Structure 1
């Protein structure tokens, strides 16, 4: 694992600042513009990120008190909260985005060493130590800062985060159906192998494009013969 707990704390803070700064001052017109995610406006996306902060605060509370507090009451409720948030006025949505991030940061800052080692359960049903919470938040804020479709790109994210993201996605994709791919980051020398169907396809390019490709975002990666990198199934 090429990430430390301190790394994830730093990336969570960096991504949060990047996302908040990008959306700062937006009115209805900017919030109603399409995001980089199909079918979602920026309002949907911001509601999702704000709801995620509240959900991760539930895990912080679980770690702090020992009282089982799931991220979401149900997948249906999670989706309903995002849809409801997408209908909030711009100012109210912006306030939720900011206040939820502040509550999560305060909760994280209040955990002691023993509480960080407490076991909690993610929305995907994985039992993990609370030390995973900053990494879960890092993925949300960093990737979705790009998804706001307001000029932020993967090249604006910390290189260490992108490497860790690629590691994480490759580990998750290892058990999923899809094409076999060998990936190489030409600017860092890192390599990843995705097991899958057929002969492995070699794909290389800058780390930012590799991370974007693995995350299912727009990229410029091609195979040695110039054809597009093979499509991958969803990773989350």
Structure 2
């Protein structure tokens, strides 16, 4: 599955699945659990939660851009993204859960409100890519599904939708310019491609992605 074959409906469904997985991943965390390390080096679960919540807010800016035509970058300044992540440790478990849920709900509502014409409007991502608004649910599905695993509370790549894993593996393989992939189950190959822990034997180490 490639960008040409995954549909907007696919991406929106995967984003909803990822949101549910993220909220479930943090549902039972107390202060100590939130303050514990995530699977991402140097980040606690509080850092990760703040990142995922801030991502929803940032993507909401691009939805606003697509809906109104008013240029609204994901982040006002390069420092704003880092500041959002950094404030995570200062928030309580309840505040982080609320931010995650409220930001995801607001993003979902704003996406629901886009018209067919507005979905085709172009916006610019934080990486400087110009994309139609139809790419935004795919961007959100990557953030939520992969980071749901990174919380380290029980979600794994085997619990992610097969269609999502296929689309993600295709995308990362192309971006990493890999001609061949190691043999193995799709979830393990995708985890390897994303630079996450996997069970593949003799697969070369890859740097982190996302």
With normalisation by structure 2, the TM-score equals: 0.95
Q: Which residue of 2 aligns with 1:231?
A: 205
Deviation at 1:30, TM superposition (A): 1.1
> Is 2:32 the counterpart of 1:29?
yes
Structure 2's unaligned 5+ residue stretches are none
Query: Cα deviations across residues 26-80 of structure 1 (Å, max 9, x unaligned)?
Result: 2201101110100111000000000000000000000000000000122322111
Q: How many equivalent pairs are there? A: 207
Residue 218, structure 1, aligned to residue 192, structure 2: no
| 2:42 match: secondary structure | coil
Instruction: Give the Cα separation in 1 of the matches to 2:142 and 2:162.
Output: 13
Question: 1:132-156, CA deviations, whole angstroms, 9 ceiling, x for partnerless residues?
Answer: 0000000000000000001110000
Show the counterpart of 2:94: 91
- Equivalent position SS for 2:90: coil
In the alignment, structure 1 segments of 5+ residues that lack a partner are: 175-179, 184-202, 223-227
Greater RCO, CA 8 A, separation 6+: 2
How far off its partner does 1:3 sit? 1.1
Structure number with larger C-alpha Rg: 1
1:165 counterpart (152, 164, 168)? 168
Written as runs of structure 1 = structure 2, the 5 A alignment for 1:17-166 is 17-166=20-169
Check conservation: 1:173, 1:235, Cα contact below 8 A.
no
Query: How big is the alpha-carbon RMSD for the aligned residues of Structure 1 and Structure 2?
Result: 1.2
Confirm or deny: 8 A CA contact 1:172 1:235 kept in the other structure.
no
TM-score of the superposed pair, with normalisation by structure 1: 0.85
Distance in 1 (CA, whole Å) between partners of 2:168 and 2:139 is: 10
**How far does residue 90 in structure 1 lie from its aligned partner after superposition?**
1.2
